Amino acid sequence: MDHYIIVSVTAPREFLDALTDRAAELGTLGSCESEDDPVNLSFYFRPPLREEAVRSAFLESVPSHASGIIRVSLTTETARDWEQEWRRNLHPLRVGRTWLVHTSWQSPAGYPTRIPIVIDPKMAFGTGTHATTRLCLEEFERVRLKGTRVLDVGTGTGILAIAAAKSGAEPVVAVEIDRDAIACARENVNLNGTGNKISLREGTIAEVPERGFDLIIANIEYRTLVATGEQLRARIRPDGRAVFSGILQQEADSFVEAMTNAGWKIVRRTRKFDPATGEGWVCCVATPSLPADHKPNRS
């Protein structure tokens, strides 16, 4: 990729938080802001973006009486120029009520109530900007992780394994088929000081023979989730929970049906719509409905 898209927004400073939160929902890679009022904001995105959808999304994030004074424009910059600017001005990313995702060259100062997660993104998936990663992190806010055994399937950058470890889970086993992603995850695990809690393994779910996990996280594509449904169920406690994401809105019903057949009961669905791409994403929380060693009847 040789260029990035910059969405520039000028607005009264009172709307800064609402606009920043909306940019995060759209999947921004980072932002910079002026000290003025009105504030000038720049949000950085990977292409492509649907300009009218993005413009509408920002305008809808402020009260209707204020939409007429918000200015939104899109430009592009080369990757080299963008990266230099990004490293210089990027702000940490707030996710949900709990998390603060930032890079190793940023400071988490100014966010004392949030749990920091250091992620240097590189090429691996999972920087906190994608809707599916955010859905999983927000789901963590609903469960007690302290003292739990966690399995993270398709760990990518390691962000979800790190979040679990920082919430008190131990041990956390994180598995990933991509060698470069495992190297990236290992760096991020070390940056966060969670290496004593997280075991990284390269390969498929077969690299995890252990059973009895309290929580399983799998933020991977629909087909892989469905194909491994029974293997995942075999590794969870009877009273455990799983957080599944990477599911497009139009795949949700068939996913629920397939996982029900694999011995899971879906107990909650959450959704995020990404106006930048026009795609809706779903996160499903599930509990095992069949014993770990049960083989569903497919007749």
Per-residue pLDDT of the chain (299 residues; tens, 9 = 90+): 467 788 999 999 899 888 988 888 888 877 777 777 888 898 888 888 888 889 999 999 999 888 889 999 998 877 555 456 555 656 788 899 999 999 888 888 888 999 999 998 665 566 677 889 999 999 999 999 999 999 999 999 999 999 999 999 999 999 999 898 999 999 999 999 999 999 999 999 999 999 999 999 999 999 999 999 999 999 999 999 999 999 999 999 999 999 999 999 999 999 987 655 567 899 999 999 987 777 666 54
* Closest by CA position to 214, among listed 269, 268, 137, 145: 145
256 is in which domain, residue-wise?
131-288
Tokens coding 254: 């068939």
CA atoms of 12 and 35, how far apart (whole Å): 11
Could you tell me if 77 and 17 lie in one domain?
yes
Q: Which amino acid is at 189?
A: V
In a domain, 113, yes or no: no
Same domain assignment for residues 182 and 42: no
Residues 57 and 145 in one domain: no
Q: Which two tokens stand for residue 284?
A: 């499903």
CATH number at residue 75: 3.30.70.260
Looking at the structure of the chain, the number of domains it has is 2
In a domain, 60, yes or no: yes
pTM here? 0.72
With H, G, I as helix, E, B as strand and everything else as coil, classify residue 295. Answer: coil
Tell me the Cα Rg of the chain.
20
297 in a structural domain: no
pLDDT in tens, 161-196: 999 999 999 999 999 998 989 999 999 999 999 999
CATH of the domain at 150: 3.40.50.150
